[in-house]
Amino acid sequence: MRRKISLLLALLLLLFMGAGYLKEATDIAEASNKQVSPTGNITDKKEAQKTLQLLVENLDAASQKDVNRYVDTLVTSAQTSTAKEMTVFFKTYTLEHRLLSFQVVKQETDHMLVKTKQQTLNRGTSQYKDHITHANHTFVKENNKWKIEETIMTQTEFINP
C-alpha cells in the first residue's frame, strides 16, 4: 500500500512539474508571437521605434546567419572583429532569436540605453541550451543612423534544463 501511495505521489509531482514547464513554454510562445513595442522612458517614440527595428534586424540576421547584415547593425569600430567571431559562431550553431520585450531606460538625441528580454532557441545539431536572456543594449547614432554600440547580458534563464 505504501508503495502505491509513493508511486502515486511521484506521478502527481511529475504531473505538476510538467504542467509548470508547459505553462512556461506556453507563456514564452505567446510572448514571442506578439508584436513588441517600445516601452519605458521614451521621449521620442519615432527614434525609440528605430532602435527597436535595428535590434529586430540584428536578431533576424543572427537567426539567418547573415554576417554582413548582422555587423551592419553595429558601430563601425566593432564590425571587423565581430564579423570574424560571428563567422565561426554561425558555422557551429543554428539558433533562432526572438525579441520578447524592449524597455527604454534612457533616451537622448544620439544615445539610448535599452533593457530587453530575448529568447534563443537551438535549431541545429550542435549542443546549445535554449534560454531567455535579459540584456542591456547601448545604441548610438553614427552618421545619423542608430547602431548598437554595446550589449551586456545580465541574466540567463534556461528554458529546458
* Separation of alpha carbons 161 and 157, rounded Å: 9
* Separation of alpha carbons 82 and 97, rounded Å: 18
Helix (H) or strand (E) holding 157: strand 145-158
Given a cut of 90, whether residue 99 has pLDDT beyond it is yes
Closest to 57 (Cα-Cα) out of 46, 73, 71, 68: 73
Handedness of CA 100, 144, 84, 69 (dihedral sign): positive
* pLDDT computed for residue 17 by the predictor: 43
Given a cut of 50, whether residue 123 has pLDDT beyond it is yes
The string of DSSP letters for 93-132 reads --EEEEEEEEEEEEE-SSEEEEEEEEEEEE-SSS----EE
* pLDDT computed for residue 32 by the predictor: 45
User: What are the helix and strand counts (H, E) for the chain?
Assistant: 4, 5
Q: Which amino acid is at 154?
A: T
Residue 38 DSSP code: E
28 alpha carbon, distance to own chain's centre: 12
Q: Which residues contact 2 (CB under 8 A, 6 or more apart)?
A: none
Q: Which amino acid is at 32?
A: S
Residue 41 DSSP code: S
Given a cut of 90, whether residue 117 has pLDDT beyond it is yes
Q: Mind listing the pLDDT tens digit for each residue in 53-93?
A: 999 999 999 999 999 999 999 999 999 999 999 999 999 99
Q: 44: helix, coil or strand? A: coil
